Each structure stands twice: as structure tokens, then as C-alpha cells.
Amino acid sequence: MSEYISNVEAPFGLNHGPQITGNYAPIATEQTLQDLPVEGKIPQDLSGVYLRNGPNPRFEPKGSHHYFDGDGMIHSACFSNGKVVYRNRWIRTEGWLKNDAAGEEVHWGVMNTVKDSRDKPMNDVANTDVIGHAGYAVASWYLAGTPYIVDPISLSTVRAAPEYLAGHGKGMSAHVKVDERTGDLMYFDYFTEKPHMSYGVVNKAGELVHHVPIELPGDRLMHDMGVTTNYSILHDVPVYHDEDALRAGRHKIRFDSSLPIRFGVIPRFGKSDSIRWFEFSSCFLYHVVNSWEEGDEVVMVACRYMPAKKADGSIDEERTAKMIATLQMDARLWCYRMNLKTGATHEHCLNSEHNVEFPGFNSSYTGVRSEFAYLVDHDPRMLRWTGLRKMNTLTGESEADWSDGPENCWYSEPWFAPKDNAKAEDDGYVIIFCWNDANKTQQLQVFDAQNIGSGPVARITLPERVPPGFHACWMKPSQIATWPE
């Protein structure tokens, strides 16, 4: 990654590692910007807000720095009546407030400690995902922590939401799923002690209405889940803490290719013993696209993390673990099928050609059969996305793609925004940030979802770089409690 370090000053020095220098370097200001330069035209029938979460450390780190460290900052683009307002705000977590009071970083990072350490406390930074629920945005963290409720328009932090949590671990997974038809939010938690996992449901009023323990064979480090109309799909991955490192108070992962990846299908409000486990070929899985039911089968489409191979074709466990830890992604669009009647399983690669990850889709289809997803082409060397791609999740076909230059561009996670009176699943727009490192230009780009290959219909230029981050979402006006009338 050294080729990118010189592009932007390293605000805290190079001794903290490359994941906080160059284009990864944080920005120091919060802004509200409107009347920005626009090339093309912002659509009149585009209404709602695009939110993207990511790490943006405010103070110099203690020790080395990892992508998953750094105070959470949300960047937003609010569209209405052919205009856009950009905002960025730090999430005022408990850790952010402690740092603010001290005037320095008082926490240790992922590479220096473990989640529950008392000697070297780790900050629950809520910097990983953001999703709309119960009228507000919910920000979450990679290692499962307290969710934070954020106003999606002003980006002010409303409050922490411990009432979403219960049970052994008292954390909420980085990735949760919201069924927009019922308003239910499904989540899981994972922890090093038995039973190692729990599963919960929060209703549309923000009340925890279901929570059960899920027993796993051991410590696991899963990341995402799936939901359908009637079921949730929990993951048991062959990735876990290195025992010696854990005893020494360090976060280090192991990948064990002798273990399958397992998916547990549980009724949405099912008891612990109602879960059914299905085994598939050994791999890791960061992100699910969508899941649904077809007759007796539960179908899940995801980005399968392809294990690294040795020269003899066997899995290189050590290199795979390192790739997972440093987000050097090599992923393929994959389909998993689980027959609840017969117990039969089937998996197949939908598209072997493209290394794609960080999927977005029409979120109103969460849990039901969907055809399209919008993903980013991944630079396998680092956390950098080089282009936008529309893929058919039924056939695996790459239907369209776009890049302003794969050697120079840094894209964000794309999300689909339906037109105000959408007539089809892909009748709308795709929103994405793009930093062009060749001409040092930051844009917010709007694409016609049915015509990605023609390029952006609107390019909104921002005066400052948006650092690389993690996940995004789209919230429609009907999902926003504070949407201005």
C-alpha cells in the first residue's frame, strides 16, 4: 500500500501503519454544504438520504491502527426537489465523549488489545454499518457493540440504544437486517464464552421483543446474516480467535479449513432448539446480498470470500486469515440453497470472473426474491473499490459496469434509491461517492440504475475528500421521522 501513502499527508505520522495515511487519512472538520457544483442534473424524482459510515479517528492512535479503529463518522447526501445537501458528523459514542473530554485518544485499537480488556480498553466506535429503522438511522460496530441512534437528516447522535440488547454478550452485530414490510430488525451477537452467540428481534417501535441463545461449537468471528419472510439465517464460520493471542490480550484470527461454513435457519421468532444447521464448503463470508424462500428452500446470495491457495491447490490457512484480517478481499457472487424439508444443500458460484463485494440493492426487497444488486469491484491488495457493477443475482450475469478509472478511483458502497413513483425493482438510481486520485477530485455520483453503463446522470463535486469507509444505506422519506414536509 506504500504507493498511496504520499498522496495525502499522514496527520499522525507513519508509525501507526498505512491504514491511517494517504487516502485513508481522516478529515478534521464537520460540514453542511449545499449549492454544490453539479455536472448533469440531479433527478427531480429522487427523494431521500444516502448515508455512509466509516472510521475517522479524531486523535492520534495509541499504538498501531487498523481499519476497524477510528471514531465513526457518517457522510450523508440528502436529496429533495432536484437539490442535494451534504453533511458529515462524528457519531457521539461514549468513547468519543471520553476522548473529547480528555483531549486525546484514551482507547486502544484492534491490533493492540481485545474487546473486553480492562487494562487496554477498546473503543466501541460504531463505525461499521448504518441502516434505517424506526424512523432513524442505526449505527453499529464490527465487533458487536452498542447500537447508536442517529438522526438521518441532521446526523446528530440521538442516543445509545442499549434497550435493543439482551442476553449473554450484550452487543449487536455490525450487520443487522430490517424487514421494511413489518419494521422488524433482526440481529445477532457473538462472544468468546458459551453459548458463543445470541439472536434477537427488535420491533418497529424499537422494542426488543425476542432474544434467544444460540449454541455454537466454539468461539467464532462471524460478520453478517440473512433474513427471509419467515426465517433468519445465522452464520457459523471457520474463523475464530487465536487462543494464545486471546490469553495475551491480543486480537488475532485463525482460519480452519477442516471446518465447514454452517448456516443456521431459525424461524424469526423461533426458540433456540428450532434452529437447523446446513453445512457448506469451508470459507469465510463477510457480506450477504439478500435471502428469500422458494418452496421448501431457503436461498441466500452472498459474496463468498475465496480462500487463498497453496501451489498444490490446498487452502493456505495462514494467508487466508491474514487476508480476512486486512480486508484483502477476493470474493465471488455465490448462491446457497437449503431445503428445509429434505435437509439437502446446494451451492454454486454465480459469477467466477469478477471480484465483487460490499453489495447494495433495493432494500424494500429485503427477505424476498430480488434480481439485482449493485456491487463494487475490489482491489485485492487493499480496502479500495475501483468501480461500480450491476449484477443479476439470479443468473450471475454482470449486466453493466462503470469506472472513472480503476487505477485512480476510490468508490464507496453503492445503494439503490427508488424513484418517487417506482414501477420496477430497478426503477431508480444508484448513489455512490468517488474520489479520483489522479485529479484530486471528490464527487458524489448519481446513476440511472437501469443504465449504469452510461455513467453518472449527475456528478456533484465536494470541496473535500471523503475518506474510504465501510457501509452505506438509503432511507426513503417514509422511513425518516424527521423528514421535512
Mean predicted lDDT score pLDDT of the chain: 95
- Summarize pLDDT for 258-313 with one digit per residue, the tens: 999 999 999 999 999 999 999 999 999 999 999 999 999 999 999 999 999 999 99
> pTM surpassing 0.75?
yes
Reported as a single tens digit per residue, the pLDDT across 305-315 is 999 999 999 99
Q: Domain for residue 484, yes or no?
A: no
In the prediction, which pLDDT does 1 show?
28
Judge contact between 164 and 202, C-beta under 8 A.
yes
Sequence-separated (6 or more) residues with CB below 8 Å from residue 451: 400
In a domain, 362, yes or no: yes
* Residues composing the chain: 485
| Tally of domains within the chain | 1
Q: Which three cell numbers stand for residue 108?
A: 486502544
Q: What confidence score (pLDDT) does residue 18 get?
A: 83
**349, 253, 358: which is closest to 306 by C-alpha?**
349
For residue 364, the enclosing domain spans 2-479
Residue ranges in the chain modelled with pLDDT below 70: 1-10, 13-14, 485
* Cβ within 8 Å of residue 46, ≥6 positions away: 79, 82, 417, 419, 420, 428, 429, 446
Question: What is the three-class DSSP state of 153?
Answer: coil
CATH of the domain at 97: 2.130.10.10
Question: Strand 345-351 and strand 276-280: pairing?
Answer: unpaired
Residue 111 maps to a domain: yes
Q: 49, 429 in Cβ contact below 8 A?
A: no
In a domain, 103, yes or no: yes
CA dist., res. 454 & res. 274, Å (int): 48
| 33, part of any domain | yes
- Is 485 contained in some domain? no
State the DSSP string of 38-60.
EEE---TT--EEEEEEEE--SS-
The pLDDT, as a whole number, for residue 9 is 59
Tell me, yes or no, whether 41 lies in a domain: yes
Residue 240 falls inside a structural domain = yes
